[in-house]
């Protein structure tokens, strides 16, 4: 806004300066040769003539200024078709604009996108601060009609290339994953390149959001801007099943080395980094590779702020019946923006979280099952290899797969969960030196 107002301010300053000089010139201008000299004292006719000349010059200068403004508007590029209106300054805050975070909803051929959009529109606190952009792939008419039914409440953009994506012969059955990756690249390009937003929340059309979904992302955005060791914030806990989380501590947030997705926030700077090397398929697993993560972490909650209702999809319900449909969705509002979240910055987090983990007494799985749970202090289950981790994770009801050696929800190899009402840290030895990609 400041940049756009500079030409107008400069024009106004020049306008006033010019007219000041003009008045001074007209006032001191000598009478034409041969004209009768006025008598000493007040000169009403001269003052009247001076006022008339000044008024005529002011009209001419005003017309010039209006022409400059019209030319400026003609040179300004038009807003992209389907783009949400540019944010306006919030009243009462001195003209400073609060952060605008668009919600990018990726849709294809699910008319059930209505369930997703209904909750987003119900819980968002401000249409100006959280514009909703629905990017549709697939060209599915029924889904397009559902999106169109929301009118101006959402911006509907459409991925233009509906052709098959070139893929190796052995990947023909994975064409859906190639199309999804292409759609992500195009849609994120629209948000950051065409619409020029500086951050965005990415949601897929089969997610339902919690009442404090927007509050959460609004609060963690400054962390991403301040801490270069964070590269995303996610609303999702991969191990957030009922019984594995402390639903009464919904304010708990963690760092995780695992990219969770499923409702996540990124900055434009991260897209600048990822876009040139964006993969043709399997974009989420690609994000979990060490060369993309580069030692950075995401923020994730104890209790998920999204849940998925999309059993049908390119993954054919993989993990849905066993894990995903049991994810606990937070049902109470946590005022995150009123909390100090600086404990999530890396140095402070590691000073508090890791000592807490390794101060907890180590127990065996049998002890954990036999001893009283609720009300007891935290304990630690230690694993010493890939097979050991997978066996303990499976016994505890966690997702036991590893991506580039990183467990879901883990930070420095530690996965935090609740078992029988007791906090449990599934952790490697204290001298842990890093993830082993061969564990995948």
Q: What is the β-pairing status of strands 297-301 and 253-256?
A: antiparallel
Residue with tokens 């990947």: 171
Q: How far is CA 38 from CA 188, 219, 263, 419, in A?
A: 76, 74, 83, 103
d(CA 84, CA 217): 20
Buried/exposed 84-100: b ≥16 CB within 10 Å, e otherwise = beebeeeeeeeeeeeeb
Which H/E stretch holds residue 146?
helix 141-148
Is 284 an annotated catalytic residue?
A: yes
Q: CA end-to-end span of the chain, whole Å?
A: 49
Residue-wise DSSP of 149-174: TTGGGSEEEE-S--SPPP--GGGGGG
d(CA 365, CA 258): 24
Q: How many residues does the chain have?
A: 440
Kindly name the residue from 53, 109, 246, 284 that is annotated as catalytic: 284
Would you call 9 exposed, middle or buried from its count of C-beta atoms within 10 A (0-12, 13-18, 19+)?
exposed
E-strand stretches of 386-433: 402-403, 406-407, 415-419, 422-427
d(CA 162, CA 174): 16
**Residues marked as catalytic:** 284
């Amino acid at each position: 806004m400041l940049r756009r107002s500079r030409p107008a301010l400069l024009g106004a300053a020049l306008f006033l300066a010019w007219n000041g000089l003009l008045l001074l010139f007209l006032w001191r201008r000598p009478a034409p040769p041969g004209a009768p000299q006025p008598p000493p004292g007040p000169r009403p006719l001269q003052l009247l003539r001076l006022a008339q000349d000044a008024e005529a010059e002011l009209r001419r200068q005003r017309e010039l200024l209006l022409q400059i403004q019209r030319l400026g508007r003609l040179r300004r590029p038009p807003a992209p078709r389907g783009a949400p209106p540019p944010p306006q300054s919030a009243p009462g805050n001195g003209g400073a604009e609060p952060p605008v975070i668009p919600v990018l909803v990726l849709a294809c051929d699910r008319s059930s996108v209505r369930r997703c959009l209904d909750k987003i529109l119900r819980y968002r606190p401000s249409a100006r601060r959280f514009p909703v952009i629905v990017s549709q792939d697939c060209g599915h008419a029924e889904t397009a009609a559902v999106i169109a039914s929301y009118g101006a409440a959402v911006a509907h953009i459409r991925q233009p290339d509906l052709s098959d994506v070139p893929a190796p012969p052995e990947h023909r059955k994975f064409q859906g994953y190639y199309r999804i990756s292409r759609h992500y690249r195009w849609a994120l390009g629209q948000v950051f390149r065409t619409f020029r937003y500086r951050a965005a929340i990415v949601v897929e059309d089969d997610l339902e959001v919690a009442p404090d979904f927007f509050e959460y992302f609004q609060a963690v955005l400054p962390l991403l801007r301040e801490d270069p060791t964070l590269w995303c914030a996610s609303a999702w806990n991969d191990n957030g099943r009922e019984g594995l989380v402390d639903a009464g501590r919904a304010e708990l947030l963690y760092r995780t080395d695992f990219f969770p997705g499923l409702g996540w926030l990124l900055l434009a700077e991260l897209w600048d980094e990822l876009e040139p090397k964006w993969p043709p398929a399997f974009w989420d697993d690609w994000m979990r590779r060490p060369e993309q993560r580069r030692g950075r972490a995401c923020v994730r909650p104890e209790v998920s702020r999204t849940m998925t209702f999309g059993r049908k999809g390119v993954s054919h319900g993989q993990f849905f019946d066993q894990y995903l449909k049991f994810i606990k969705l937070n049902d109470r509002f946590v005022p995150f923006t009123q909390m100090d979240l600086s404990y999530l910055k890396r140095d402070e987090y590691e000073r508090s979280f890791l000592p807490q983990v390794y101060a907890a007494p180590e127990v065996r799985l049998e002890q954990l099952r036999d001893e009283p749970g609720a009300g007891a202090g935290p304990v630690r289950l230690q694993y010493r290899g890939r097979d050991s981790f997978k066996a303990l994770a499976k016994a505890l009801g966690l997702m036991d797969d590893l991506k580039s050696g990183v467990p879901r929800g883990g930070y420095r190899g530690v996965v935090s969960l609740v078992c029988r009402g007791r906090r449990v840290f599934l952790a490697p030895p204290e001298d842990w030196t890093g993830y082993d990609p061969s564990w995948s």
